Amino acid sequence: MPTGDPPSRTPPSPDADSVPILPLRNSVLFPMSVVPINVGRPRSVRLVEDLLGRERALVGVISQRSPDVDEPTFKELYSVGTIARVVKVIRLGPNNYSVVLNGLGRFRVKAAFALEPYMRARIERIPESLVRDVELDALGAGLREATREVLGLMPNLPRDTAGILDNVREPGALADLIASNFPQAQASVADKQEILEAFDVKARVRLVLAMVGRQLEVLRVKKEISSMVQEEMGKSQREYILRQQMKSIKEELGEGGDDDEIDELRERIRRAKVPAEVDKVVRKQLSRLRSMAQQSAEFNVTKTYLEWIADLPWSKTTVDKLSVEDVRRCLDEDHLGLEKVKKRIVEYSAIRQLRTDKKGPILLFIGPPGVGKTSLGKSIARSMGRRYERIALGGVRDEAEIRGHRRTYVGALPGRILQALKKAGTKNPVLVLDEVDKMGVDLRGDPAAALLEVLDPEQNSTFQDHYLDLPFDLSQVMFLATANNWDGIPGPLVDRMEVIEVPGYTRTDKLGIAREFLVPKQLSAHGLTDERLEFTEHGIASLVDHYTREAGVRGLERQIAAVCRATAVKVAEGQDVREVATPEHVEQVLGPHKHRPELAERTLQPGVATGLAWTPAGGEILFIEATRMPGKGNVVLTGNMRNVMQESASTAVSFVRSKADRLHLDPQWLKEIDLHVHIPQHGTPKDGPSAGVTMFSAVASLLLGAPVRSDVAMTGEISLRGRVLPVGGIKEKLLAAHRAGIRHVLIPAKNRRDLEDVPQDVKDQVQITLISSMEEVLPLVLEPPRRASSQSAAPDEREEQAGA
């Protein structure tokens, strides 16, 4: 073997003893064996491509000393290899071949020629000794018998494998055959290379015989271990049968034979004080459980079922705080405003104080996001001394989420109601069913229908979960449900609950909530104190007026948190911060004002009126614009109006036409012009009849050339007879008008009773006028003429004067 690489890359002319060299990475090729070899390394690929078409060419195959070398030199190869004939070449890919080689004999490398384009060396063939003697024959026979015994301990081998041993008579060839087929896990490349380099046949047979002996010992030990395992399994089965027989004997003798685990489970159920009907089912299930094998699937199912029964609070309750003053104090500490809600909770506490057998109420809070519907549940639970749990129903589409799965299904569980009761640990907690209007329906059932029994005070005392299949008393649970609007709640479900509308907050409420609750909460959450950051009244007012526009306070809390974060960064950088959240500081941190009063968007010109609308997020103001152009009497409606609102617009135009003489309009005016009624923000769909009064005012203002007062907003449905009909959402609409700075609002007279729910500060700051007919509207909303000459001017001139 040379000590280095050849100096020249160009190989000399090959002679009879020079052959190309194919290195093997993880295997050893033996004589008398036929094996396929995958070729993918560049040098090996070039060698194979050079041999294409010469399938009977000879090649020297040598194993690498280390498989980690990708392109080995002769230093990284062993000096002894196997001369092989190429039987077949199969192309697997652009640079990948499979070569079938037939080993012929051993050789030793004498001299290396080159590495490129592929390895090539002069070799010396090692002849095989054919001398036989008694010792060699004995070694061969021993090797054959040991190998046959190894094959007998490996039942997965083909049946004709042992027959191959009888066909090979030469001991040296037999040793090469066995070594070639020996598993890689039991013989490494170095071990096989040692056998390949054993030119003496006796030494070679001894090496292979030692290798086979080691494998035979391993297989014998495995067989003994397997026999021991089988014996232990048989012993366990015998013990189980004997144990069952012993249990039967003890039962006959009256000594009992319950398992410790079953005894513990039975004791847990006893402490739970289950009702008599449940106790009867439990005894039956415990009896079945004792007769089951612990390895069976039914044993675990029954055990889990009984554990659920043991964990449910069948009789455990908490003592209610029946002091009305304590309940009122807790509610006032946690929430500002919401007087109607607080009044209802105080009433419930008072009734419980007088009658302890009163069932729990089922309240439904409906209101815009961020007004504190969900947090009311925590306050109510704290004020009454009860446990609190929340069940999120948004997006739930499976009835089994409420009533549970039947035990026949794999992985069955009780519904969310019983899961919440187990977590609460009492049978009289406060359960908040959050977002009941966001539930869906699909092929798995209607969860809203499953809630009908849960939320019916006359039925929920015997509520049956599909998994439990036993009646459970829910009558003492105080259910609170929340929703943003009525649309997603089925009528029968609403009928089972007492609805309490939670409106949006007034500006005064927001200022108080921010001062009393939000600012201290966010300062604590950001690791700040009043000394580091002090919020002034004007700073909080700036956040309310210019950076939020919502019915609730969720956005206001985010803006307060943004101001706190700016100060927290400075404190974390090591600055000695003493900041005051004034309006200027708020604007510096949050940037320019995000909102400005809607009235600033209006100009005093005819054809523009301000209406009020209701949305799931609270009330909003709505601008309605009207203009005219030469035409043939067409009426164009834009602004993404839906059917009902389009009908209101048509009704308003028709009423104006019918009263042309009363309005001093030319009866033929509509034949020469087209009217266009538009509502801005047409990306938002709009519907409902409550914009009828506003549309009438906008059209009449346009045709009369008199602008609508900028501080007046209105709502109400109109009829062709000129009547103003009642509408919904009066409270939310008045709150929206108050937020927008409107000082005069027109509402239908039949909505007088809705004013009882309007906060007093809103009624003090907003003038509310009740109207019952259309004839009352225009004198209240139109600006008076500026000078007498305006009345005699042409319509176009009056419009220009009014808009000047």
- Comparing CA positions, the residue from 655, 662, 763, 778 lying closest to residue 714 is 778
Read off the tokens for 262: 């079953």
- Comparing CA positions, the residue from 639, 619, 628 lying closest to residue 679 is 639
Q: Where are the alpha helices (DSSP H) in 573-717?
A: 583-590, 643-658, 692-704
Q: Which residue in the block uniquely carries the two structure tokens 């019952």?
A: 772
CA distances from 561 to 303, 514, 567 (A): 50, 11, 10
Read off the tokens for 309: 């029964």
Q: Compute the distance between CA of residue 471 and CA of residue 494 in angstroms, rounded to an integer.
A: 24
DSSP for residue 752: G
Q: Compute the distance between CA of residue 306 and CA of residue 680 in angstroms, rounded to an integer.
A: 63
Q: Are 698 and 625 in contact, with CB atoms under 8 Å apart? A: yes
Q: Which residue in the block uniquely carries the two structure tokens 């080689």?
A: 101
Q: Compute the distance between CA of residue 212 and CA of residue 206 in angstroms, rounded to an integer.
A: 10
Q: Are 611 and 621 in contact, with CB atoms under 8 Å apart? A: yes
- Comparing CA positions, the residue from 368, 485, 380 lying closest to residue 432 is 380
Q: Are 255 and 245 in contact, with CB atoms under 8 Å apart? A: no
Q: How far is CA 200 from the centre of its chain?
A: 71
Read off the tokens for 245: 């027989």
Beta-bridge partners for 359: none
Q: 117 preceded by cis ω (within 30°)?
A: yes
DSSP letters spanning 218-265: HHHHHHHHHHHHHHHHHHHHHHHHHHHHHHHHHHHHT-----HHHHHH
Q: Phi/psi class of residue 273: alpha, beta or left (left: φ > 0; alpha: ψ in -120 to 50)?
A: left
Give the side-chain half-sphere CA count within 13 A for 739.
29
Q: Are 417 and 402 in contact, with CB atoms under 8 Å apart? A: yes
* Side chain identity, residue 446: D
Q: Compute the distance between CA of residue 578 and CA of residue 530 in angstroms, rounded to an integer.
A: 9
Q: Are 410 and 344 in contact, with CB atoms under 8 Å apart? A: no
Read off the tokens for 725: 């009909």
Q: Catalytic residues, which ones?
A: 690, 733
Q: Are 481 and 497 in contact, with CB atoms under 8 Å apart? A: yes
| Segment holding 628, helix H or strand E | strand 618-630
Measured in Å, how far apart are the chain's first and last C-alpha atoms? 110
CA distances from 117 to 1, 332, 678 (A): 20, 92, 84
